[in-house]
Amino acid sequence: MNHTIQEIINNQTKFKDKITKYLIKEFNSAKKELKKIKSHKKDIIKEKEKLEKKITKIKPLNSIGKFFFMNSKRNRDFYVWWDEESNEAVILKYEKN
């Protein structure tokens, strides 16, 4: 998708609450799915434990905020866009000229 900077700002301003709620819901869903993983293999258990430690350190609002264009610490490669047709937030890559 090729959005202009102004389109990105307008979309993010209009749908900020929806984007934030959607991505927090996705984050929480991923945490629940991670907890459901069961295995008897030591390497899988070890990796699961590593991910569980990492995920507890993540602050979803800070991480989500970095995908908003107007954030001073924004991600320079990716941005979030609210897709009205599918009613979901999508992470897109900025087009490089």
Q: Which helix (H) or strand (E) holds 78?
A: strand 78-83
- Yes or no: say if 68 and 16 are a contact pair by the CB < 8 Å rule: yes
User: Given this model, what pLDDT does residue 30 score?
Assistant: 94
Whether 77 shows a pLDDT value over 70: the answer reads: yes
pTM for the structure as a whole: 0.86
Q: Is the pLDDT of residue 2 over 90?
A: no
For residue range 10-67, list pLDDT tens digits in order: 999 999 999 999 999 999 999 999 999 999 999 999 999 999 999 999 999 999 999 9
Residue 81 has, within 13 A of its CA and on its CB side, a CA count of 19
Q: Which residues contact 67 (CB under 8 A, 6 or more apart)?
A: 74, 75, 78, 79, 80, 91
- Per DSSP, what are the bridge partners of residue 92? 79
- Condensed to tens digits (0 to 9), the pLDDT of residues 78-92 reads 999 999 999 999 999
